[in-house]
Amino acid sequence: MHDAFSGQFAAFTQDGEDNKALFAKVGKLTLPLLAIGGDHSYGASMKSELDYVATNVQGAVITSSGHWIMEEQPQRAIDTIVPFIEKK
């Protein structure tokens, strides 16, 4: 597992630098984004991270959930996603 993931995670720093350079050229995304985090995982940090690259971010935190939101709290996720999609 370590060897399989080490390259993927090692690329995160370079991905971040590449993304900064891209958004400096083209500006932030303007489409509506829904950033969902589980309260036992990313939580509100998902929105905070996307605020760096987009201007229209709505955040949501799903309670009693970690990284696998759809498996852990499917109905809460659906109740969050559907209204976001329907208002567009």
Give the pLDDT of residue 88.
61
Q: Compute the distance between CA of residue 1 and CA of residue 25 in angstroms, rounded to an integer.
A: 37
For 19-69, the pLDDT digits (tens) are: 889 999 999 999 999 999 999 998 999 999 999 899 999 999 999 999 999
Assess contact for 28 and 53: CB atoms under 8 A.
yes
71 or 4, greater pLDDT: 71
Domain count, the chain: 1
H helices, E strands: number in the chain: 5, 2
Domain extent for 11: 2-86
Phi and psi, residue 66, nearest 5°: -115, -130
CATH code, domain carrying 39: 3.40.50
